[in-house]
Chains A and B, each alone.
Chain A
């Protein structure tokens, strides 16, 4: 590995971490698309900043562009408040318009600006190591590493300082204002951090891919855990893994680094989406099948309970008619009930056993008092065999 290669990977990893942290909160607060809006609408800010500073890595440019990101949020919220269009339409109108302005500004000044549309969409990670920070003739490393490093450092400080506040205001806005944590300050604080991060990362990975780096690690991690600390750590790990993995994939395919990073993120997400232990598609489908049988069993038991006096409702051949089920399903449910010792069959009449009765009464009580979650524990206690 050559030294620029190491530096590129280092920058990619730092960008991934810096994006993943605010991304977690954007996903949890259902504001994922705001990052999309910001990443597009900072473009005119960046171009304008570039006209003034002539340096893509100038702090002034980053502040200017981040400011235009915050303006976007304010503008979207203002349009929403007028009630002229729905919320999502407001977002969908604002950022393409601002982005278009940026693209046109670049196109009209193509000769003066060393920015091109490809760089806007993809960033220029491959060239990042060649823009060095020189202080007193000393080479301190790539500029963008410094910029992203500072942004990451600030984000981390804010994250650790306000972890409790972020957690409360994300999960319970009502409680947080009762505790004196202003949801508005948290909201705009998060928006400002996101804006600055997007601007910093823009140079490296481009407008649209920065969205992937923010949303995908957090969303993937969210399929694996709900614990905020684990979620953040996992999101960071997925981000770094995809950044490094993406670099090598790009190296191998001789294609865009940021495109590869996103593709690795996509593959990781797809795998987790399919195979995550509890929330993955396969596990969800399996559980749904199991739950369908279990709910059917509950229904069947309750039916027996409700009609303990009327034998004709409990005839073994008739319950599929009464409950309106297919024969096969009725058979499965009856077998399950028998296996679990919930029912007994005498002269083709199905009756609840004492255990079955106890189970049914308890389940009913839980449902009526809206403590549905207790049923899951109950199933563990009562069921020998599950659906």
Chain B
């Protein structure tokens, strides 16, 4: 049974290799092959899930050692997998959503001549992501981490003929490097501190290290998580990443890869539990990002960028929950999974809308689409209800739990966090309602595209609608299923050591407050966008709106602080190097050169001149001898 784990990773890897190496002759079957291999992975995952279910609660961890990678004394890096409950959740999410999105892409990328390559990249991503969540040591996890980064880069820049896409890919890659450096440093620190970077030994030894070291490791891991999960301050790449094809946005930049940071923090829970300072920083980052993403999502007119802001915000929820410690890990993962369903569904819906609207992304040019795309409307609507936390849908359960956990943090911190999460819930309701209203309701604001073709909205083909329907089911029922008997939480309990905090407010009160926040948000959005017609041109808006449209000035901040600062630093270093270092070196060289030039005159080629120096030397010798005798 353990050997299936290797196959689980191997199937998409094989697909990627075959598709990327195979060349044009695979153009006609490539997409089906890739989708089949993703499905194989999913089936294997399901088989393994059944196997784990069949075991007792304490015995639900499978190990699979493939080979020794770096067998050096004192530095044992293995390619070995560890499948436990947490990994299992991710495996099912990744392969399940992944398979659906493969299927969707078949329709979505139908007219793209580089479709085979696209599917190769998708398979590469699946393999890397599975490697990430299945690795039993941080080094292998790092390989997967870099692999998903690579796949993300390739897929964001898939339409590299568009300069914006190429620039976005570069940006995502560069910003991710910062986070990757954090992960690398964290691994170095683990190795020097614990003498190992395997996950289990590090978790066991976590309590023994000094507080400073643990905090440093925690902060470095958090930096890595920020890079990959687009958290403040490394959040700037996610909005631009929407330049990639929509299935990519759905799979990588909504459902799976961006949640890798949450996985990393949950996986390293033992380290964070021992480092409360690092945890506090995690919570702060989560809270800030939660509001940041929500505000950005409110202002964007580009449907995908609005959803990207939402993703950022929802991952902020998860990071916040993960930062709460044992009271939050399970809820973070639960929200992650439900979010995977509804956000992937929303993105696929957005893709379907764009598909029908000549790739128009501006929501101010949509309007009244519900009659033209009924399936998309219904699935998107269900995803919308799920994300805003409509009672008894997925988001309702998972978000509610996080808000409760935030209050349960206790003390002033708990109240602040609780308030922030509630505020976030209200804003979520506002901006999602805005998206919904602007896209599917109101009057038509369609405009011809650049080539003058008026859009003819139509329902998308089956390959696209079926995944949307499946994901909509997930959005609706997953939360309830998980909540049933707290089965999800109990499933994860052996891994994440669940604790129940002591909430100062009762669960019922929290639920009521959540629903009130939801109603307020939806109401505000309806007042602004539902009751009166949406202007086709964006109004100038308040200062905050304008800032939010510019992603709350994150790029300007980066430009001023990092780019300009870096330029100045480089310029001064170049100046220093040119004038001081080179100046000193060249000065010494020039000095010796000049001296040599003078001394060279002595070497004039005339034997008599040399004879003079010989006789002079002889005279000096005689003088010295006489002097010595006199003394």
A and B are interacting partners: no
